[in-house]
Structure 1
């Protein structure tokens, strides 16, 4: 059994979904591990991870709109607003999504469906640099 660990830095441009599938595919291939389990971990409380449609961009737009309606930025609604009106909504949105993903690896590739991509979901208005930890265990 072998293990590999990698830190992936992703620049965001404010709220939205940033696909990083290619970076993960390249890294997994470079490890030489053919079969195993890949864990992705987001080291932030105001961003999250998701596996989502990678073909039609309107899906991503609908997801963004849904979360804006589900957890709105509403001045006076939240007690915690130390970093602005998008602060607490960002924490709630990351709680409702995922900060960790587990994906099987077979034949040296993450086992993703034809239309699935890996995304960082940025919940803050301002651009950020987010760190994703990749851990692969297998042989």
Structure 2
């Protein structure tokens, strides 16, 4: 019989970077009693994102963060051609990392749909689910987890 479960997950980030939430998601799946189905996890914020990536070599995460920081620098935007003056971000209500965090979130994912079996996410050997914090300082982040399965 098909059942569903809705729960929330709160994570304290350390500031810009990655937090592995695979274990926390697996814990909520196990607590639901569901064995087989799909899990939808969605961020309730506009300045952090979700990603699945390698959990074996931390240099992968360092390089990902460096790439996105170079693509969306905190100093502002310049024409795609690279020519012309850099313009500071207009939206900076919460500091200089405010607008870059929103753009980085728009370029990445705010939700994931993942299969689970035997009460655990079906991930590859070297995969983990991460919260990717785009703000410089620590934040308390909230996610909804919707499970559909049996």
Q: TM-score range by the shorter chain?
A: over 0.9
Where does structure 1 differ by over 4 angstroms across 4 or more consecutive aligned residues?
none
Measured on the aligned residues, the alpha-carbon RMSD in Å equals 1.0
SS at match of 1:23: helix
The question of 1:138 aligning with 2:149 is answered yes
Please give the secondary structure, in 1, of the residue aligned with 2:15: coil
Q: Which residue of 1 aligns with 2:96?
A: 85
Aligned pair 1:13/2:24, yes or no?
no
C-alpha separation in 1, matches of 2:118 and 2:9: 22
- Structure 1 unmatched ranges of 5 or more: none
CA drift of 1:81 comes to 1.1
- Of 91-100 and 2-11, more deviation after overlay is shown by 2-11
CA offsets per residue over residues 65-109 of structure 1, 9 Å max, x none? Answer: 111101000154211111111000000000000000000112222
Match of residue 66 from structure 1: 67
2:110 pairs with one of 99, 102, 122: 99
- Where does residue 123 of structure 2 map in the other structure? 112
Q: Secondary structure at the match of 1:84?
A: coil
Of structures 1 and 2, the larger Rg is shown by: 2
Deviates more, 1:24-33 or 1:63-72: 24-33
Q: TM-score, normalised by structure 2?
A: 0.89
Secondary structure in 1 matching 2:6: strand
